[in-house]
Chain A
Amino acid sequence: MPVTVKTCATPAEAAAALSSDRGARYIAGGTLVMRALNEGDVEITTLVRLADRSLAQIRTSGARVSIGADVTLLQILREREFSYLHPVVRSIGGPAVRTMGTVGGNLFAYPPFGDLAAALLALDATVSVQSGYGARDMGLEEFLAARDRAGGTLALAVSFERPASVDAFRYRKVARVKPKGASVVSIAAHVPNRGGRVSNVRIAYGAMAPTAIRAKAAERALEGRTLDEAGVAAAVAAAAEGTSPATDAIASAWYRREVVGVHLRRLLLGLES
């Protein structure tokens, strides 16, 4: 069924087009929206796109990085400064998906997809959004919680600080299909080490709830501990707390809850799968 395609000159114009039409969806790479159209989603009546690459810019200011929402996963892979994100991006799709898929789009992916959103959550990212009320920044956690109610909001960019050290950011994706597939669970953790103990711990999961979520009980249990068997035990025991995974073709909710602690332990201890 044909839809209207609006090509906008500016993000503000695109945001206005989104907020004035309930059937409008922003399209960048197309891996989510075109898939929905191909499946016959009649709720989509208008596609809104930008005429240029104004949202595909990467900016750095000191330790802080801002990645435009239209930056593709391939662009991330080509930037050496994002080496800590490369394992995350490589775990998503095949090369063609990474050519097309964008950072902003990944924030809207439903489980078992959206692994990058979990990584960005662990990095304490903020999202710049534009709506009919203007532009503002909001925490990624708040953005994800409101995502499905926030029609008419255009994500402009995500920004975050680089991990404190190479070893401070860790990521693991568990999939049944090798070399890659959709997530049973993905886990990202930011565990800065201060004097042998971790502080300001942030742990995030993909595929353990309708959006990427923080594992707050595990974070509390790990704060101030050492990254050894005894130090991580309480966090592992609390790993499934606060999660609400789905049962899908990849895994049952029960299975996901059972294994998330196993994989969190391996991630924190630096063990192989």
Chain B
Amino acid sequence: MAKTALQFIHNGREVAVFVDGGANLLSVLRDLVGDHSPKFGCGQGGCGACTVLIDGDPVLSCVTLAESVAGKSIDTADDLKSGPDLHPLQTAFMANFAAQCGYCTPGMLMAAKALLDHNPSPSRAEVVEAISGNICRCTGYEPIINAILAAAGHGLRRA
């Protein structure tokens, strides 16, 4: 079956790939673009490990039709850091022991970034709501919630 040309902005850089019909965005990011930060968890849109931002809003890349992102801007956890400097959310996750196995962390970070970009001073309830679509089987969520609140408390110095 013929492949389709697809162009989009990945972490600020334009990329062009040829995709199979019906390919999901997660497979395109991981297999064709080489960005392994979004993870394959359930493949059903139920766990949030594959969360990325499309034009600033969180989506589940495993159930996003790749062709639907043509011309759009995709941001992933791969671009959160700036050289050796971690993003404040990453620093807060580290300081608050918010990652154990780490598999959910990229999705958690992007869900948290989407929240803080729109609401820099969220309440605890708003943080819980923001990560309600992201499953973590290690931490019990408390350290993640504390990390996001800590990042918000310190202010996000980088967008």
Contact = CB atoms under 8 A, between A and B. Distances in A.
Interface residues of A, number: 28
A30 B22 CA distance: 10
B24 interface: yes
B59 A96 contact: yes
Contact of A95 (B4, B20, B22, B130): B130
Contacts of B147: none
B22 A94 contact: no
Contact residues of A: prevailing secondary structure: mixed
Given A38-B63, A100-B59, A3 B22 contact: yes
Interface string A3-16: 11101000000000
Contact of A30 (B57, B68, B114, B115): B68
A96 B48 contact: yes
A93 interface: yes
A9 to B, nearest CB: 15
A39 B46 CA distance: 13
B21 A95 contact: no
A71 to B, nearest CB: 14
Interface stretch (B7-15, B78-86, B90-98, B131-139): B131-139
B21 A5 contact: yes
Most buried by A among B63, B65, B129: B63
Contact of B128 (A49, A97, A179): A179
Contacts of A95: 57-58, 111, 114-115, 129-130, 132-133
Nearest to B114: A95
B1 interface: yes
Interface in A69-100: 74, 90, 93-97, 99-100
A27 B67 CA distance: 11
A37 interface: yes
Interface in B51-91: 51, 54, 57-60, 62-65, 67-68
Interface size class of B (residues with CB under 8 A): 20 to 34
B59 A99 contact: yes
A94 B131 contact: yes
Contacts of B131: 94
A5 B129 contact: no
Given A38-B43, A94-B111, A94-B131, A49 B51 contact: no
Given A34-B64, A95-B133, A96-B58, A47 B48 contact: no
A180 interface: yes
A94 B48 contact: yes
Given A2-B1, A4-B1, A34-B65, A96 B22 contact: no
Contacts of B22: 1-3, 5, 37, 44, 47
B21 A3 contact: yes
B64 A100 contact: yes
Contacts of B51: 96
Most buried by B among A1, A2, A180: A2
Given A5-B4, A47-B21, A100-B64, A94 B44 contact: no
B127 to A, nearest CB: 11
Nearest to A27: B65
A100 B60 CA distance: 8
Pick the 4 closest A-B CB pairs, nearest first. Answer: A94-B133, A3-B22, A34-B63, A2-B20
